[in-house]
Structure 1
Amino acid sequence: MSLAFLFPGQGSQQPNMLDALPGSPAVAAVLAESRSCLERLGMPADVDSAPALADTTNVQLALLIAGVACARALIEDGGLKPQFVAGHSVGAFAAAVTAGVLDLADAMTAVELRGRSMKDACSQGGWGMAALTGLPIRAAKVLVEDLPTDDVWLANVNSATQTVLSGTTAALQIAGHAARAAGAADYQRLDVAVASHCPLQAGTAQRLVAHLAGLPRRIPTARYLTNTRGRAVDTAEAIFDDLARAVAHPVQWYDAARLMPELGASFAIETHPGHVLTRLVRSATTGLTAVSLQDDGFHSTVVRARRKQ
């Protein structure tokens, strides 16, 4: 069996989600380390509380902590070793930590910079993201191109019939009307207070490039699936480039999901919180068994993964 770990991104957050992580020594160690990092960064200790999650930076830090904690529990307490890691948006930083390219402290510093810069880019006016379901990818691209506004972009390609748009509140409303007229099955605003994976975040990408340039390069212990191209890479340089630039480019999750079984991945585990990536992988391929820690539980997931080995 070739194993993949999947790390969800913003929009999957849940209040007090760090309290719902598996009870294990590895998780406890990550939470203790993260509390020290949060204090150093001047961030709230209860970064995952409902009030704290109103802030984009807190959301991204909480998702990073949850992803790293789950991965370490699966590796150190469950005896599993991933051959592939894939993170959606900010989840890519947890993937990079799990692959040994970043340590947790460096990842938290980078994610704090990322979240703060993303908020700065969206400081003028209301911005957000919306999921568009039921239109083929090409139809979604045409819909965005034909809108009478330049303030909306295609941000995520999640499946053959689900994309995500980024833009101003007004532009997303216009896009919603156009989507329904085009026959979309669903159009929903996401719990995201910024516009991500679009040209608006070019400055954020540049800041991340400069920040990551000063970090050491380590040999990855697993192949990393990129956000920007949906391809597998195995060098720290390529991973850092993806971590920095993805915030200004669409997430190609659909390509990554289809590629994993082609490369030999046969079992995928999505870390807390949620199950969105599990469902997207299941819809993209029949050659990869995907499970969610939140839905299936830690013990059951480890047992199933071991049986596949």
Structure 2
Amino acid sequence: MTLAILCSGQGRQHRNMFALTGDAPEAAQLFAHAAALLGGRDPRDFVRGEADEALHRNRAGQILCTLQPLAAASALADVFPHGVIIAGYSVGEVAAWGVGGLFDATATLDLVARRAEVMDAATRAGDGLIFVRGLSREEIGHLCERHGAAIAIVNPGDAFVIGGGREALSRIAEDARAMHAARIVALPVEVASHTKRLAVASAVFRKTLRQASVMFPPRSGARILSGIDAAPVVSLETGLDKLAAQISQTVQWADCLQACVEAGATGFLELGPGHALSGMAAEIGSGLSARSLDDFRSLQGVRAWAARHLSA
């Protein structure tokens, strides 16, 4: 099996998200660093003790959802083969650079904290995201054009995340129901990520990335995909340009999953939190093995699964 690692975005934070990684000695420094970014709150205590609203605030959510894949990668470093394929969903793309070794892990946490801050600064009151499944790309595009919103993420199976202001999203949801969309969900995200409403945030974050220390090409040999076009990062400057642009451009996630398959991936491991990405990966082709860290009861179980499939 050729393995693809998937780094999750926001939205699936939960109180047990660090059940496997929280006690891993390899990740202790990461949890300590994240605690400093969370105002001194240990992330493990934070997710268990805070209300859902606090877990889904943009800055905290981005830090938590980046900490999890970084902690998992540090604890499972012996599992990931040289040249692994890595793709990240939304903020997970920054995590993917950390998991792949382009950014130092603690520096990755600093970068996502800054990313969230510049996004919040550029956000208008009432901005957010909704999920719509069951309408075509053309139909969704017309709805967005009609109501002044934009497609934020293209997922497999006629599934889309749409970003915009509260009134525009409400009108789109109403029209989508009338058009018999299969599912419509307001997402617990308070920014219109991956839309032109955050163009200023992209520009500011690119300045931050210019100051970042980057190991390129990575010693891991990782093949890291850019979210806005599913192309592998083969040029540092172009890759950083795309990483910043992703804040205000559509994420082509369906294309990213297909690019993993075309690069030879026959198995997917989502580092979490949640199962959303591994579920999508399982749907794109028969015979693909797709699991999430949240599926397992121990890190040893992850190692056993990987050993079994990587030797197949």
What is the TM-score when the length of structure 1 is the normalising length? 0.90
Report the counterpart of residue 134 of structure 1 in structure 2: 134
Query: 1:279 offset after TM fit, Å?
Result: 0.8
Is 1:280 the counterpart of 2:277 in the alignment? no
Report the counterpart of residue 112 of structure 1 in structure 2: 113
Q: State, as a whole percentage, how many aligned pairs show the same letter.
A: 30
1:193 is paired with a residue whose SS is coil
Report the counterpart of residue 143 of structure 1 in structure 2: 143
Report the counterpart of residue 75 of structure 1 in structure 2: 77
Cα distance change on mapping 1:85 and 1:50 into 2, 3 Å = same
Query: 1:304 offset after TM fit, Å?
Result: 1.9
Give the letter aligned to residue 58 of structure 1.
A
Instruction: Provide the rounded CA distance (Å) in 1 between the counterparts of 2:42 and 2:235.
Output: 33
Query: 1:272 offset after TM fit, Å?
Result: 2.5
- 1:226-305 mapped onto 2 (5 Å cutoff): 226-286=226-286, 288-297=288-297, 298-305=299-306
Contact 1:228 1:252 in 2 (8 A): yes
What do residues 213-237 of structure 1 show as CA deviations (whole Å, max 9, x unaligned)?
1223321230111111122223433
Contact 1:101 1:236 in 2 (8 A): no
1:188 to 185, 188, 191: 185
Which runs of at least 4 in structure 1 moved beyond 6 Å after TM superposition?
none
Contact 2:87 2:96 in 1 (8 A): yes
Cα distance change on mapping 1:44 and 1:240 into 2, 3 Å = farther
Report the counterpart of residue 167 of structure 2 in structure 1: 170
1:60 to 53, 59, 62: 62
Unpaired runs of 5+ residues, structure 1, are none
Query: 1:12 offset after TM fit, Å?
Result: 1.8
1:21 is paired with a residue whose SS is coil
Q: How many residues in Structure 1 have an aligned counterpart in Structure 2?
A: 301
Query: 1:45 offset after TM fit, Å?
Result: 4.0
Contact 1:16 1:50 in 2 (8 A): no
Report the counterpart of residue 27 of structure 1 in structure 2: 27
Instruction: Provide the rounded CA distance (Å) in 1 between the counterparts of 2:173 and 2:252.
Output: 22
What is the TM-score when the length of structure 2 is the normalising length? 0.89
Query: 1:303 offset after TM fit, Å?
Result: 1.2
Instruction: Provide the rounded CA distance (Å) in 1 between the counterparts of 2:242 and 2:153.
Output: 15
Q: Which segment drifts farther, 227-236 or 87-96?
A: 227-236
1:18 is paired with a residue whose SS is coil
Instruction: Provide the rounded CA distance (Å) in 1 between the counterparts of 2:68 and 2:235.
Output: 24
1:96 is paired with a residue whose SS is helix
Instruction: Provide the rounded CA distance (Å) in 1 between the counterparts of 2:10 and 2:209.
Output: 21
Cα distance change on mapping 1:8 and 1:99 into 2, 3 Å = same
Report the counterpart of residue 213 of structure 2 in structure 1: 216
Unpaired runs of 5+ residues, structure 2, are none
